[in-house]
Amino acid sequence: MTENKNKQLDEITLSTESIYKGKIISVQVDTVKLPNGEESKREVVRHSGAVAVLAIHNDRMIVVEQFRQPLGRTQVEIPAGKLDPGEKPEDAINRELKEETGYTAKSMKLLFSFYTSPGFADEIIHLYLADELTAGDAELDEDEFLEVTEITLEEAFAQIREGRMSDAKTIMAVQAWQLLKLGAQPGQ
């Protein structure tokens, strides 16, 4: 995303050991040389990245509720999906919105991109704002089960307070929506 400005903090990778390679992530252990000359280990999760969309229709945010195995419960989130290897975010975002919700957008605008957990993972999410939505039929993957609803900004904040909406990308999208309603331009 940006150039490293403080080279004196750089760690130099001496070796990498692949631990696991799955469908969505891979895990490796890097041996690094620290700025003080000592060596240390870094556990790293590799991920191809993802796209997410703040889709507003009739002053309501489109969200999906689905079961999240790591949490052991359902979660309300904005529509999102992983990038295929080598896929550009601008190519994936319309596909993901259509697949999960059935909606299509006349235009998409990148609000900002962010890393989810840079202390151990390289996953980056590109958050888009969808404009001029048209309803249609969802095209869910065979192992994907979710419920699509539309909620107001007030309902979104209530769901955050209740813990039903607790992932970073969705909370960031709600905050961006609030800024947009106030006339600000998030991400610029």
| Residue 14 token pair | 């001496």
> Which of the following is catalytic: 3, 38, 132, 142?
142
The CA distance from 22 to 61, in Å, is 33
| Burial class, 6, CB count within 10 angstroms (exposed 0-12 / middle 13-18 / buried 19+) | exposed
CB contact at 8 A, 52 and 128:
yes
The residues facing 114 across adjacent strands are 125
Question: Residue 61 CA to chain centroid, in angstroms?
Answer: 16
Name the residue type at position 182: L
Residues recorded for the chain = 188
142 has catalytic annotation: yes
Positions marked catalytic: 142
